[in-house]
Amino acid sequence: MSAMTVQNDVVERIVIFGQYKTGTTALFYKIRNSLPPTTRILFEPREFMPEPGDESRAVLAKVILGDPACEPDPVRYPTFSDFTKKIYIVRDPRDWLVSGTLFLVQQESAIYNDDALLDTVFELLEQKERAPRRVSICRLLDKILTVLPGYSLKTTTEWITCQHRWLWDFEEGLSDHFVLSYEDFVDGRLDALQAYLGVPLTGRAEVDPVHDHVVRSKRYGDWRHWFTPEDVDYFRPVFESYLERYQYAHDWTLSEQPEIRPEHCSGYVRRTVAKKRPLGGWREGTSQKRHD
C-alpha cells in the first residue's frame, strides 16, 4: 500500500481532529512530512471544499474541535465525513489546562494588548516559577480572563463541562476513526497509527516557524508541578469523566518538589506575545522592568 492510496485505489484523505493544545500541530507536521509533496494541505480549515486535482492527490487536514453552539464561525464538520482516515487525538485534561491557560494569553487581543494585565500576569508567572505552590492555576486563569466580558473561572469551567459532553457526542458520530493519545505521540508509540493509516510515519514533527507559537514543552505530566491543592479540589470533579473515558489515571498526587522552568512558563508567554506585538511590546510595568 502506498503513501498516497489505500485499497481499491481510493485517494487517501486524512483528517486530524482535536482540541487546541492536544498536539494536533506536531502530529499534523509529522504526517505531512511523511506524505508526498503533492499532498494538499489544510491547516485548521472551517470546512472542506474539494478542488480540481483532489481525485489524484492525497489530502491532509487538521481541524480544531469546538462545540458549534459556542463558536461564532463553527467548523462545518460534515464536510469532512467522507475522509478515508480520521484521527482523534486526546490529552490528559490536567496538562491540557496548563497549556491552554498559557496559550490563552496570546490568543485573545483583549488580553495581549492590555499592558496592565500583562504586567500582572507576568508577575504571577514569575512567582509561580519561584514558588509553584504559591500561585494556583485557578487564580492565574481567573486573572487572565478578567478583561474578557462575560468570562470567568466559573463560566470557563461550565464551558469545559459542556465541551466534554459535545466531544463525546462528536466522537461517537465518527464512523471509522483512530484514537491517539498525546502521550503516545510524544513517546513515539506510533505503530498502531501507522498500521491504521497505511503510511510509514518517517517524517519529522518539525513545525514551521509560522506555527511555532503553538509548541511549548512537548512533555506530559507537568501538571503535577503546576497544580496546587486548591486546583486539585476544584478541577477533580470537572475532569473525572474525561479521565475515565480515555483511561487516564485517577491519581491526583502532586510533586513533592515542584519545579517550573521559565522557558515553559513566563518565557513561553513572552515569546508568543512578542509574535502578536512585534513592533512595540508593552509598557514598562513592574514585570517588564525586571527583564530590561
For 188-201, the pLDDT digits (tens) are: 999 999 999 998 99
Q: Which of 271, 270, 264, 237 is nearest to 252 (CA)?
A: 237
For 211-258, the pLDDT digits (tens) are: 454 555 568 999 999 999 999 999 999 999 999 999 999 999 999 999
Q: Amino acid letter at 275?
A: K
For 254-286, the pLDDT digits (tens) are: 999 999 999 999 999 998 998 888 655 555 454
Torsion (CA) 263, 269, 271, 273 in degrees, nearest 10 = 180
For 21-49, the pLDDT digits (tens) are: 999 999 999 999 999 999 999 999 999 99
What CATH code is assigned to 10-91+164-211?
3.40.50
Q: What residue spans in the chain does CATH classification 3.40.50 cover? A: 10-91+164-211
Write down the residue that cell numbers 465525513 correspond to.
81
pLDDT at residue number 280: 55
Strands 85-90 and 59-64: unpaired
Q: Taking the model in full, what pTM does it have?
A: 0.87
> How much is the average pLDDT of 144-166?
94
% of the chain beyond a pLDDT of 90: 79
For 170-190, the pLDDT digits (tens) are: 999 998 999 999 999 999 999
The three grid cell numbers given for residue 107, joined into one nine-digit string: 490568543
Q: Which of 288, 258, 285 is nearest to 135 (CA)?
A: 258
User: What are the backbone dihedrals phi and psi of residue 57, each rounded to the nearest 5 degrees, phi first?
Assistant: -145, 155
